[in-house]
Chain A
Amino acid sequence: MNRQESEQLLQCRNLVAGYRIKSGFVHAVDDVSFDLERGGFLGIAGESGCGKSTLAFAIMRLLKDNATIENGSLFFNGTDLVGLREEEMKKIRWVDISMAFQSAMNALNPVLSIGEQLTDVIHAHGEVRQSEARDRAIEALKLVDIPRDRFNSYPHQLSGGMKQRVMIAMALILNPDLIIMDEPTTALDVVVQRTIIEKIQELRKSLGFSVIFITHDLSLLVEISDTLAIMYAGKIVEYGNSDELFNMPLHPYTIGLMNSFPSLTGKITRMGGIEGKPPDLLNPPEGCRFHPRCPHAMDICEKSCPALQKVDPRHSVACFLHKGAENL
């Protein structure tokens, strides 16, 4: 990696994406902006249905047929991915941006050995001799601690943790600049989850790729990511440096999420969580989308939607409770 340290790898600006269904347009990703540095680790947290997976698929340009990117731009290494034609996108997808999918159980083809699946990836992106592809696949498996005698194993012969590691090997195999991980550890046990996280961090240090890590488990995310984005109902409601966000959460939703997982240390106190359920994105509520569940909702919250405002250089929040938001 000889490119400059400070360079932004991915710049997402005012991205709007959603699903067109019979009864209207579902705003799954609504006006989302963020930056990702080269080698950075961005965590995106939110409940199910908040649009985090849609965002991931939008970056990969792998949205389903009924979904579209309506507006905004996605600058990756200086090119806007939104405007690219499919053939051009194919040259970037997996070569520069790859993805580890949510359920390793279903994302691997059950009738092909993992070796065949890995070499397929290499063959699909260039003319490579079979023996060389095989060597590279074994090399990639070695990175994630899977011995070479597993090369001819079928997915059902592997444990859940191993399948997830194969998924990561597959994402790594073409040496991309960015890997998007969509809940890669959700279905796994804590111990296995921990070993996979350690592996990702170790590889990131040695290979220098960036990660966008999507999960609903905020406790995990705070610990592993540099930058955090909290999503609610299609919008980023709080964005900033992980440490700062954890020590001083500002948005009532972030505070609610932080209170939603009990801790192993410290005194046991009765914790709150968040009452209610996320809104229907077909008809999102007027004003701030969180106001029906917000304990601090004010009159203005029902009328207008707060924009993401910087409270300090590394921390922004979209809430009327905080300085800078009221003079919109």
Chain B
Amino acid sequence: MSGDILVLEGVRKHFPVNSLRRHGKFVHAMDDISFSLRSGEVLAIVGESGSGKTTTANVISRIYRQTEGSVVFEGRELSGKMTRTEELKYHKRVQMIFQDPFGALNPTRTIGRIMERPFVIHRIAEDRKAVSEKVDSTLTQVGLEPPDQFKRKFPHELSGGQRQRVNIARAFAVEPDLILADEPTSMLDVSNRMSIMNMMLSLKESHGVSFIYITHDLAGARYMSDRIIVMYAGMIMEIGPAEEIITNSFHPYTKLLKSAAPAPETGLKRKPLITGGDIPSLIDPPNGCRFHPRCPFAKEVCSLEIPPMKKIGDDHYARCVL
């Protein structure tokens, strides 16, 4: 497949548990994750907390090394060691936007200093003047105008939305090919969310980058993305085109997420949830399908073996025996 910028094949990530009682056990944060990201596409990863979505982003950005499986970025395998130059080159092409806009900026540096770093580290601009011009133009792009005023400020002087704009500006500054956005709007005020989402979409268009958008909000994923991956307890449950996942959701977990989302249109006429319960422990994940203890349609076979990915429709796959 030539149009794929990133391919994950059977990726596992297990974290050792460092406690005496559970010594030798592992947290199964990612198990058998395979998907590909097409060039220029927005792929959303949706799931509850603890489903392994952030671990997936961290493996792709090489913050963690995977335990098993391969991550191929533009035809190059990433699992091995890289030299410093290679690492730097990779990170110029793959940037990340973090969830917490308050924690992601150094509180002792001005916005100007923070914004200069990517240009200096990746040697994009030749001299100080060029750096300064670049900083001005990126800040203007994310709507922080006039840039001179913002460059003098410290992170604590900005609102949450403005801080997240700085983070986004910093990620787009080095003209990357892939951006991993880890719940970029979940800590922002409602009135800011839409403008940040729209800004990311328009920057994505103008820069032609691919996007992995991680969220727990199915409606937000639908708004942002071309395709959606639904993750549960470290495994992919369903993957397919965004509209298809919402209207023709196949996996019971996707249906559960859908029915739990607030929907003012339905009001009190809504049906009660089909299942409650909590996400299972990832140290001893359930045998078979990870969702079967909560699944209202579980059969005997569900507790015995992990169901394979099954083709549901065009480009639409689900891990379910139904």
**Chains A and B bind each other:** yes
CB distance from A43 to the nearest CB of B (A): 11
Complex CA gap A292/B49 in Å reads 37
Q: Assuming A189-B49, A223-B262, is B191 touching A195 (CB within 8 A)?
A: no
Interface size on B, residues (CB 8 A): 39
Decide if B287 is an interface residue (CB 8 Å cutoff): no
**What mask results when residues 240 to 263 of chain A are scored 1 for a CB within 8 Å of chain B, else 0?**
000100100000000011011111
A223–B266 touching, CB < 8 Å: yes
Chain A: how many interface residues by the 8 Å CB criterion? Answer: 39
Residue of B nearest to A192 (CB): B278
Chain B residues positioned under 8 Å from A277 (CB to CB): 159, 161-162, 192
In contact, A223 and B189 (Cβ under 8 angstroms): no
B57 to chain A, nearest CB (A): 18
Tell me whether B262 and A220 are in contact (CB under 8 A): yes
Within the complex, which residue of A193, A220, A256, A264 is in contact with B191, where a contact is CB–CB below 8 Å?
A256
User: Does any Cβ of A come within 8 Å of B222's Cβ?
Assistant: yes
Q: Which residues of B contact A216 (CB under 8 A)?
A: 189-190
Q: Are A262 and B219 in contact, with the CB atoms below 8 A?
A: yes
Q: Which residue of A lies closest to B189 (CB)?
A: A47
Report the minimum CB–CB distance from B279 to chain A (whole Å): 8
Q: Work out how many contacts link A and B, with CB atoms closer than 8 A.
A: 105
When chains A and B are docked, how far (Å) is the Cα of A100 from the Cα of B216? 24
Quick one: closest A residue to B270, CB to CB?
Answer: A223
Q: Which of A194, A263, A273 contacts B193 (CB 8 A)?
A: A273
| Interfacial residues of chain B within 238-282, with CB under 8 A of chain A in the complex | 246, 256-268, 270, 272-273, 276, 278
* Chain B residues proximal to chain A, CB less than 8 Å: 48-49, 159, 161-162, 189-195, 198, 216-220, 222-223, 246, 256-268, 270, 272-273, 276, 278
Interchain Cβ contacts under 8 Å between A and B, 19 examples: A190-B257, A190-B260, A191-B48, A217-B262, A220-B262, A222-B264, A223-B267, A224-B268, A262-B220, A263-B263, A263-B265, A264-B222, A268-B223, A270-B198, A271-B198, A273-B195, A273-B198, A275-B195, A277-B162
Query: Which A residues contact B (CB, under 8 angstroms)?
Result: 47-48, 159, 161, 189-195, 198, 216-220, 222-224, 243, 246, 256-257, 259-265, 268, 270-275, 277
